[in-house]
Amino acid sequence: MNNVVKNAVKKVVVLGGGTAGWMAAALLKKVLAGAVEITLVESEDIGTVGVGEATIPPIRLFNNVMGINEAEFLRETKATIKLAIKFDNWRVPGEGYFHTFGAPGKSLAFCHFHHLWLRARQQGDTTSLWQYDLNYLCATTGKFAPINAKDSILELPYAYHFDAGLYARYLRKLSEQMGVLRHEGKVQQVFQHPNGDIKCLVLENGHELAGDLFIDCSGFRGLLIQEQLNAGYDDWGHFLPCDRAVAVPSERFEKTVPYTRSIAHSAGWQWRIPLQHRNGNGLVYSSAHYSDEQASDLLLANLERKALADPKFIRFRTGRRRQQWQRNVVAVGLASGFLEPLESTSIHLIQSAVVRLIQLFPHNGICQSAIKEYNQQSQLEYEQIRDFLILHYHANQRSDSPFWRDMQQMAIPDSLRQKMAIFADNGQLFREQNDLFLESSWLQVMLGQGIEPKDYHPIANNFSAEKLREMLANIQAIKQEPLAKLPDHDTYIQTMINRG
Ligand SMILES: Cc1cc2nc3c(=O)[nH]c(=O)nc-3n(C[C@H](O)[C@H](O)[C@H](O)COP(=O)(O)OP(=O)(O)OC[C@H]3O[C@@H](n4cnc5c(N)ncnc54)[C@H](O)[C@@H]3O)c2cc1C
């Protein structure tokens, strides 16, 4: 058991000014206001990781709590709308499917919509499940405007693609307006109290930053959580073997699609993220299968637009810090672990870590019970996302490369094996408590990766064949209806950024 000092927490020091550092500083200051003094230190010489451009819908909650105006946000961060991810070549080369933020059809009590669709399919209906999903219909026709849906059937959940550097700069401006103090400079030394807690950070210029609680947002190295406190790391490279990325911006396409592309190659996958001013591109790959040069050549050959900078290489280890909160240090962002960007979850993990810290905020002193709760919750969150990512790799039917064949053969966590088995047996999906991904996400990726349920729920038999056909046709018509009234995605963005 750690020997933890019970002092009131008044001074919070954030180490790092990447997306994690500024999201943490901004939200803590916004929510805790005058209860804490927040200081952030960052080093322009060290810089940030410089990637991280695709998000998932909870980011809108973060922006709302921050009081961010959407038009201003879109303008400041050169953002576009994200309704889905399109996965190409993941099941087999030449085929693709969407994982949207929406849900297909409309579910009945005790029976998800897809059971009705499975029965209709057994009767010979060839309509794709995605034809019942408004997010898919908008993504593929390039339409978007927020829908104020009275009926959940017409909800259109969305997130953003944005320029990560501009987002951090924007949050910095908001944070400084609220009173967050910023220091520029490299942390050169770290001093600890006799009990092991961090006492202060010393910058190159000799300036000392003392604090009661330190948020380590120093990136992969984890300057406080790992280099000082040695929290340890669970390496999940055996489940998710990609360990490098190469990133390069390119000229934008004439028309911006409201979704991320994820294009699988023979030993990794390529992202394409449309922003207002450029495309973000990168290749996530396994260094056991591609040299850096091969990876960079492959990426550049598949840009379809002119590169705007030299390729930048990033090495990473997939996994999580064993203790994300240890003593008076909470690691947030890359310092707390890394799950590759296949489902754009890292920025969300920053958000949920800061929300968790706010919920357990140790205003009266740090106690072991709060540390334990925090670490348990973050471990579960990481493991659930890890399982979802493994599903994409493991459930492939590619026979064209050793990488994909190895993925089919690899041992997977029991939690995932059970989820896949029950879906394959009878089409059932069970979302574990607090799982970030809803049943509709699991459904789309399982079907997209080629897992075909052998059966469907008997409630789907409660209707005559004719009634079922009529119900499905009605739902499809309801989902199609908004399309005619929605503007093009580019028109929507342009209208928003022109707003005063
Ligand atoms: C290839 C790749 C693609 C990604 N794509 C996505 C995506 O699409 N969506 C998503 O949600 N996430 C994505 N991520 C993750 C995302 O980039 C990060 O979660 C996010 O940028 C947060 O990074 P960070 O702030 O933790 O670290 P960094 O950006 O590395 O920032 C570290 C900060 O610490 C400072 N620092 C370090 N050492 C010192 C020191 N000694 N003194 C002073 N300051 C110091 C640095 O100056 C910097 O300000 C991706 C990550 C990678 C690697």
Number of H helices and E strands in the chain, helices first, is: 14, 21
* Arithmetic mean of pLDDT, 5-31: 94
| Residue 106, token pair as written in the block | 């409309």
- Pocket lining: 20 vs ligand 1, CB cutoff 6 Å: yes
pLDDT band of 6, cuts 50, 70, 90: low
* Best probe residue, ligand 1, of 14, 51, 190 (max atoms within 8 Å of C-beta): 51
| Pure H helices in 337-367 | 346-359
For atom 50 of ligand 1, the residue with the nearest CA is 52
Residue 432, pLDDT score:
83
Q: What is the mean pLDDT of residues 120-144?
A: 97
Structure token pair of residue 56: 């998932």
What local confidence, expressed as pLDDT, does residue 372 receive? 98
The C-alpha atoms of residue 301 and residue 143 are separated, in whole angstroms, by: 29
Task: Answer whether 441 contacts ligand 1 (Cβ < 6 A).
Answer: no
Ligand 1 within 6 A of CB of 145:
no
Instruction: Name the band, by pLDDT with cuts 50, 70 and 90, for residue 434.
Output: confident
**pLDDT tens by residue, 219-272:** 999 999 999 999 999 999 999 999 999 999 999 999 999 999 999 999 999 999
Q: Which of 41, 42, 436 to mutate to test the pocket of ligand 1 (most atoms within 8 A of CB)?
A: 42
Ligand 1 neighbour 343 (Cβ under 6 A): no
Tokens (6 digits) for 409: 């053969």
**For residue 469, is pLDDT > 60?**
yes
Residue nearest to atom 5 of ligand 1 (CA): 52
Distance (Å) from CA 391 to ligand 1 centroid: 25
Q: How far apart are CA 51 and CA 319, in angstroms?
A: 18
39 lines ligand 1 (CB under 6 A): no
What are the residue numbers of the active site?
A: 82
Confidence of residue 1 (pLDDT cuts 50, 70, 90): very low
Q: Are strands 337-338 and 329-331 parallel, antiparallel or unpaired?
A: unpaired
Nearest CA to ligand 1 atom 44: 42
Question: How far does Cα 321 stand from its chain's mean position?
Answer: 18
Encode pLDDT of 37-92 as tens digits. Answer: 999 999 999 999 989 899 999 999 999 999 999 999 999 999 999 999 999 999 99
Distance 346 CA to ligand 1 centre (A): 9
Which whole-number Å values give the CA distances from 71 to 149, 178, 487, 496, in the listed order? 20, 21, 16, 5
The pLDDT-based confidence of 355 (bands split at 50, 70, 90) is: very high
Lowest mean pLDDT among 149-158, 188-197, 305-314: 149-158
Atom number of ligand 1 nearest to Cα 185: 43
pLDDT for 148: 86
Q: Answer whether 16 contacts ligand 1 (Cβ < 6 A).
A: yes
pLDDT average, residue stretch 435-441: 95
Task: Report how far ligand 1's centroid is from the alpha carbon of 19 (Å).
Answer: 6
**Residue 423 above 70 pLDDT?**
yes
Residue 16 reports pLDDT greater than 70: yes
Q: Is the beta carbon of 219 within 6 A of some atom in ligand 1?
A: yes
What is the pLDDT, as a whole number, of residue 500? 60
pLDDT band of residue 5 (cuts 50, 70, 90) is: very low
State how far the Cα of 388 lies from the Cα of 421, in Å rounded to an integer.
Answer: 14
357's tokens: 């810290």
- Between the two ends of the chain, the Cα-to-Cα distance in Å is 56
Q: What is the pLDDT of residues 247-262, one digit of tens each?
A: 999 999 999 999 999 9
Give the pLDDT of residue 149.
Answer: 78
Name the residue among 363, 321, 309, 365 with its Cα closest to residue 20. 321
Q: Is the CB of 499 under 6 A from ligand 1?
A: no
332 alpha-carbon distance from chain centroid:
14
370 pLDDT exceeds 60?
yes
Residue 226 Cβ < 6 Å to ligand 1: no
| Segment 373-413, tens digit of pLDDT | 999 999 999 999 999 999 999 999 999 999 999 999 999 99
Average pLDDT of the segment spanning 447-456? 97
Residue 80: closest CA among 283, 259, 271, 282 = 259
Which among 346, 347, 389 is the best mutation to test ligand 1's pocket, defined by most ligand atoms within 8 Å of the CB? Answer: 346
